[in-house]
Amino acid sequence: MKTIITPILAIVAVLSTLTSCNNSNNSGALSNNNAEKVYVAPGDHDSHYAFISGGFSGNLTVYGLPSGRLFKEIPVFSQFPTNGYGYSEETKPMFETSYGFVPWDDSHHPDISQTNGKLDGRWIFINGNNTPRIARISLTTFETEEIIEVPNSAGNHSSSFITENTEYVVAGTRFSVPVPQKDIPIKTYKGNFKGALSFISVDPEHGHMDIKFQILMPGFNYDLSHPGRGKSHGWFFFTTYNTEEANTLLEVNASQNDKDFIAAINWKKIEEYVKKGGGTMMPANYAHNVYDEHKHTATSTMKKEVRVVNPSEVPGAVYFIPTPKSPHGCDVDPSGEYIVGNGKLSANLTVHSFTKMLDAIENKKFAGEAYGIPILNFEDVLAGSVEQPGLGPLHTEFDGQGNAYTTFFISSEVVKWKLGTWEVIDRKPTYYSVGHLTIPGGNSAEPFGKYMFAMNKITKDRYLPTGPEMEHSAQLYDISGEKMELLLDFPTHGEPHYAAAIPAEIIKNNSRKIYRLDENQHEKKTLSGSDVKIVRDGKNVHIYMTMIRSHFAPDNIEGIKVGDKVFFHITNLEQDFDVPHGFAIIGANNAELLIAPGQTRTLTWEPKQVGVWPFYCTDFCSALHQEMQGYVRVSPTNSNIELSWSLGED
């Protein structure tokens, strides 16, 4: 035995030496005291919030930086049994769409609202990619307050990016489709399919969204977008691929053109045109779902028309900038001068100049046109290019110090380079195939620039293995020095598609701790134990219930019959931070509820079996949490037992 063990040990020893060589960066991190740089002592707060898209989870997660600790998952586009979002009667309307109830999505790009180009921390917006939708989340309650569906769109990918005063959130379609939808051969794609770029206005006070206009662009794929800012405020830039307008085997057929386009859109010009009545109202069908914080209830309205604009009707509003090659990210630097086209199949990284673009437009130096839209000359607009920085550039963000950071998917690295000189300053490997990266405020006119984190696309996990399916990961870098320094890996939930981050000070003092009972305007609220009642309306039974440590009122209910539809309208009477109560009942076919202090929620329960069935609180709320329970007696359909309830009687 010994003779076998020894060589094995030797091999292991050699391997571990090799591994430690490969991971020299890690031991370096320790020797550099990087552990201290991410350590947030118990009770201390992280300096930044990071809002990381959950990708296929449909949600948004909230992390702390630099610790990488997960604070919360905010349900947005996916039902969330944890608190009953999308199952309770109040939140079900959030999932209404023209396709009916769609309880899931693929959430991609969060973006924080801005005032004068700076993050103001009021709301965060995120797109649903599959069923085109844009959601607005309040950063005082950290709850989804509004979801608007986007008609004429498919694969809502080049979203949700925000202009510098949150005038508009855009929703650009990735897939072009027939507009309006119709039954036509797919082969007739070219020339017949359209790409809708939607400009959704945001009410400056309440944040309410409204689709102001859609630009019906040629049938390319619109991948990502970015607003202009500063001097380029009023413009929006969209990367395109498949300018070939292929409809099959796109990996080959959409990669033929040496250059695709960045579509430059003067939205102010189109806005003016629309204000004068330009464009046409087109029949449409899309849902607008709004959650009222005081009614604790969402309502869904179907809208029946949308204003569309044909770009050729507004001369001087839309131009194409040729950009190599199938560009993915489209990123504008904080000054608004440079537009970075991350040509994912290109060897070089292309940077356009906004000033040169205006100049070329002024002098009408066009290389041609596509569907009536002028195409500028590549050379006339080019500011410069970063030569051979890496393979497969995807996304670029900025630190506010004149540096840009680009992720390279194929070579798995982040490259820091200088705007203007285009020289590479530093490069660091990422241990995952990297997708997006985020610098707090890096998507605004004023980046905060202390940290950068890169998010993975493909995980060959560096953590303890958890089987073939695992969570994804992000890596945090310190970018305060000349060289980037890897500080931390931390797991993320779903695919961390993109993120927005912000200094904690801007948000944390506005964060709400309770809902005030005296502001509760829920139609079915019960504000005290003495207002409890049960009302039968045919087969529907409405139970107006309260919850407080450590009992429900009522806790004994009789007279319910098989075949009834029972609505538990439950109000949490607590006014104390972090005392939600849960409600769960045996045989519920939907979910439990988690009800925040001062909130009202309704769960529907359809008893199918005769018996006496318990309900209880699911969130440990006090020393007597286990005692927080009650019974519902369910009698046969033809029984004549009277509806009654009690609390505290024997």
Partner 1 sequence: MKKAGIIMIVGALLLLGLFKFPLWNIMLGAPQYPEPLGMNIYIHGIEGVEEFDLQNIDGLNHYIGMKTIPKAEDMWEFSVFPIVIVFMVVLGTVIGLLGYFQKLNYKYFLGWFLLMSVLGILGIYDFNNWLIDYGSNLDPNAIIKVTNPDGSPMSYKPPLIGYQKLLNFDVDSWPHLGGYLMFIGMTLTLVAFWAGRKASLKPTTQ
Which amino acid, 114? Q
Smallest gap, in angstroms, from Cβ of residue 429 to partner 1?
Answer: 40
Asked if 43 is part of the footprint of partner 1 (rule: CB under 8 A), the reply reads: yes
Query: Which range in 270-278, 316-324, 569-577, 637-645 contacts partner 1 by CB under 8 A?
Result: 569-577
> Is the sign of the CA dihedral 190, 349, 352, 405 positive or negative?
positive
Smallest gap, in angstroms, from Cβ of residue 621 to partner 1?
Answer: 10
Query: Which range in 131-139, 190-198, 509-517, 578-586 contacts Cu ion by CB under 5 A?
Result: 578-586
Please identify, using beta-carbon distances, which residue of 69 and 533 lies nearer to partner 1: 69
Smallest gap, in angstroms, from Cβ of residue 548 to partner 1?
Answer: 8
Smallest gap, in angstroms, from Cβ of residue 73 to Cu ion?
Answer: 21
The correct pick among 118, 512, 549, 565 for binding partner 1 (CB under 8 A) is 549
Q: What is the DSSP letter of 188?
A: G
The correct pick among 325, 581, 601, 633 for binding Cu ion (CB under 5 A) is 581
Smallest gap, in angstroms, from Cβ of residue 514 to partner 1?
Answer: 8
Measured torsion, CA atoms of residues 468, 54, 492, 110, in degrees rounded to the nearest 10: 150
Going by C-beta distance under 8 Å and a sequence separation of 6 or more, which residues neighbour residue 602? Answer: 88, 89, 90, 524, 567, 568, 569, 570
The correct pick among 98, 575, 604, 629 for binding partner 1 (CB under 8 A) is 575
Please identify, using beta-carbon distances, which residue of 306 and 548 lies nearer to partner 1: 548
Please identify, using beta-carbon distances, which residue of 45 and 462 lies nearer to partner 1: 45
3-state helix, strand, coil in the chain (%, to 5): 15, 45, 40
Judged by beta carbon distances under 5 to 8 A according to partner kind, the member of Cu ion, partner 1, none in contact with residue 1 is none
Determine the size of the site formed for partner 1 (CB under 8 A).
Answer: 11
Please identify, using beta-carbon distances, which residue of 403 and 599 lies nearer to partner 1: 599
Ranges within 605-634 binding Cu ion (CB under 5 A): 617, 621, 628
Query: Which range in 104-112, 243-251, 500-508, 570-578 contacts partner 1 by CB under 8 A?
Result: 570-578
Going by C-beta distance under 8 Å and a sequence separation of 6 or more, which residues neighbour residue 56? Answer: 106, 494, 495
**β-bridge partners, 566:** 541, 605
At CA 449, angle to CA 49 and CA 201, rounded to 5? 65
Smallest gap, in angstroms, from Cβ of residue 142 to partner 1?
Answer: 19
Query: Which range in 19-27, 402-410, 524-532, 575-583 contacts partner 1 by CB under 8 A?
Result: 575-583
Please identify, using beta-carbon distances, which residue of 476 and 621 lies nearer to Cu ion: 621
Measured torsion, CA atoms of residues 456, 462, 464, 465, in degrees rounded to the nearest 10: 70
User: Which x/- pattern, by CB under 8 A, does the window 614-643 give for partner 1?
Assistant: --------xxx-------------------
Smallest gap, in angstroms, from Cβ of residue 624 to partner 1?
Answer: 6
Which amino acid, 362? E
Ranges within 423-482 binding partner 1 (CB under 8 A): none
Asked if 519 is part of the footprint of partner 1 (rule: CB under 8 A), the reply reads: no
Please identify, using beta-carbon distances, which residue of 380 and 555 lies nearer to partner 1: 555
Query: Which range in 240-248, 325-333, 572-580, 603-611 contacts partner 1 by CB under 8 A?
Result: 572-580
At CA 92, angle to CA 89 and CA 96, rounded to 5? 145
Judged by beta carbon distances under 5 to 8 A according to partner kind, the member of partner 1, Cu ion, none in contact with residue 576 is partner 1
d(Cα 565, Cα 583) in Å, to the nearest integer? 17
d(Cα 214, Cα 199) in Å, to the nearest integer? 6
Measured torsion, CA atoms of residues 321, 264, 165, 449, in degrees rounded to the nearest 10: -20
Nearest to 509 by CA among 45, 6, 22, 35: 45
DSSP E strand boundaries for 464-588: 472-478, 485-492, 499-503, 533-537, 540-548, 551-553, 556-561, 565-572, 581-585
Query: Which range in 130-138, 393-401, 410-418, 571-579 contacts partner 1 by CB under 8 A?
Result: 571-579
Judged by beta carbon distances under 5 to 8 A according to partner kind, the member of Cu ion, partner 1, none in contact with residue 617 is Cu ion
Ranges within 529-548 binding partner 1 (CB under 8 A): 548
247 close to 227: Cβ distance less than 8 angstroms: no
d(Cα 601, Cα 545) in Å, to the nearest integer? 10
Smallest gap, in angstroms, from Cβ of residue 623 to partner 1?
Answer: 6
Nearest to 453 by CA among 493, 496, 494, 417: 496
Ranges within 62-81 binding partner 1 (CB under 8 A): none
Judged by beta carbon distances under 5 to 8 A according to partner kind, the member of partner 1, Cu ion, none in contact with residue 413 is none
Element (H, E) at 467: none
Asked if 514 is part of the footprint of partner 1 (rule: CB under 8 A), the reply reads: yes
Determine the size of the site formed for Cu ion (CB under 5 A).
Answer: 4
Smallest gap, in angstroms, from Cβ of residue 597 to partner 1?
Answer: 9
Please identify, using beta-carbon distances, which residue of 295 and 625 lies nearer to partner 1: 625
Going by C-beta distance under 8 Å and a sequence separation of 6 or more, which residues neighbour residue 5? Answer: none
Smallest gap, in angstroms, from Cβ of residue 579 to partner 1?
Answer: 8
Q: Which two tokens stand for residue 7?
A: 């060589």
Asked if 316 is part of the footprint of partner 1 (rule: CB under 8 A), the reply reads: no
Hey, how many other C-beta atoms are within 10 angstroms of the C-beta on 609? 9
Q: Specify the 3-state DSSP secondary structure of 106.
A: coil
Q: State yes or no: cis peptide before 550, omega within 30 of 0.
A: yes
The correct pick among 387, 576, 612, 620 for binding partner 1 (CB under 8 A) is 576
- To 10 degrees, what angle do helices 24-31 and 2-22 make? 70
d(Cα 593, Cα 597) in Å, to the nearest integer? 13
Please identify, using beta-carbon distances, which residue of 101 and 577 lies nearer to partner 1: 577
Smallest gap, in angstroms, from Cβ of residue 573 to partner 1?
Answer: 9
Smallest gap, in angstroms, from Cβ of residue 336 to partner 1?
Answer: 43
Ranges within 271-310 binding Cu ion (CB under 5 A): none
Please identify, using beta-carbon distances, which residue of 155 and 597 lies nearer to partner 1: 597
Going by C-beta distance under 8 Å and a sequence separation of 6 or more, which residues neighbour residue 69? Answer: 40, 46, 63, 490
Binding site for partner 1 (CB under 8 A): 43, 514, 548-549, 574-577, 622-624
